Structure 1
Amino acid sequence: MKRVILIGSPGSGKSTMSTELAEILNLELYHLDNIFWKPGWVSVPRDEQIEITKKLVNQKTWMIDGNYAGTLDLRLERADFVVFFDLPRWVCMYRIFKRVWQYRNKKRPDMNAGTERLNWDFIKFVWDFRKKKRPLIYEKLSRYPNKQVYILKTRKDVKEFMKEVRVKKHDL
């Protein structure tokens, strides 16, 4: 595992796992939420996101956590390992509400935009993720049959995956 991406719904556990996984694998970690959002919740323009992503994926090794469909193909093309969090909607919804409570009036370590916030558009995005974004992710993954892809569908899958990584980190 030299070039790893983690994708999935907000609240699925990408940032939490990527932090631990990057440390285990000794990879530089890039949280796209931290890179693609400026303070004050100002989004980096799409063309700038593409240029940033091109620079990141052209490095020899890396780990990138985040969805951002506009740059997913660039990351998939170069990744040698993909972790897709396909957890149930209720788990993701619970976690985003928990995260809002945990980081109320504070900045998340993986987010540059400002204090944690929750609005209707974000709730709807998470609620609709399995219906609207998930099929597109599976379709994109199908274009890369030679990539090593782990699909994590339950919290148990996540725990087992991390256990396996700790044991076989050099063989994956």
Structure 2
Amino acid sequence: MKRVVVLGRGGAGKSTLAVALGDATGLPVVELDKHFWSPELEAMPPERWSEVQSGLAAGERWIMDGDLGPYDVLDVRLRRADAVVLLDYSFPRCAWRAVWRSRERADFWRWVWSWRRRHRPLLLEAFAAHARDAEVHVFRSPRATARFLARIR
């Protein structure tokens, strides 16, 4: 694993996992939220986001943490990935973590609520279309994710 994409519902723990993977592998972690959102929390236009991601994904070693839901342009980073990790945790678990973490906007909650029904299928299609050669890991629980992380360490 040299280029890893970490995706999942809001509140799943993508950033926490990315940091732990970075510690275990020595790969630099790129938190996509920091590159995507303006200080006023306005979404970056898709064309510009593709350009920004192209620059970020040009490196030979990285972990990219972030799932920007309906705002995302996945193909850029998926084409470069050799591993994809999808945290497919339940709505109650993610909602609890999101509430505990911070206040969120209404569009965030719509995304979190509809993620498994609307967004997860789109992610799986994107993996098949743009990350054919990548190892894809789908974890339904923190315990499964912890076992994966233990194997990496």
Identity %, equivalent residues: 33
Letter in 2 for 1:163: A
Matches of 2:19 and 2:57 in 1, distance apart? 18
Letter in 1 for 2:86: F
Aligned ranges 1:48-87 → 2 under 5 Å: 48-68=48-68, 70-87=72-89
What's the TM-score, normalizing by structure 1? 0.81
The root-mean-square deviation of aligned C-alpha atoms, in Å, is 1.4
Give unpaired runs (5+ residues) of structure 2.
none
Cα offset, 1:66, TM superposition? 0.9
Q: How many Å apart are 1:125 and its aligned residue? A: 1.2
Residue in 2 that maps onto 1:124: 110
Aligned partner of 2:140 in structure 1 is 153
Distance in 2, Cα, partners of 1:129 & 1:6: 15
| Higher Cα Rg, which structure | 1
Q: Which sections of structure 1, spanning at least 5 residues, go unmatched?
A: 101-116, 167-172
What secondary structure is seen at the aligned counterpart in 2 of 1:71?
coil
- Counterpart of 2:8? 8
Determine the C-alpha separation between the residues in 1 that align with 2:75 and 2:149: 25
SS in 2 for 1:133: helix
CA distance in 2, matches of 1:145, 1:45: 27
Amino acid across the alignment from 1:159: A
- TM-score w.r.t. length of structure 2: 0.91
Matched residue count: 150
Aligned positions of 1:70-109 closer than 5 A: 70-100=72-102
2:44 aligned with 1:44, yes or no? yes
Q: CA deviation at 1:76?
A: 1.0
1:39 and 1:147 mapped to 2: Cα distance? 33
Aligned to 1:18: 18
Per the alignment, in what secondary structure is the counterpart of residue 43 of structure 1? coil
Which whole-Å CA distance do the structure 2 matches of 1:2 and 1:85 have between them?
19
Amino acid across the alignment from 1:66: G
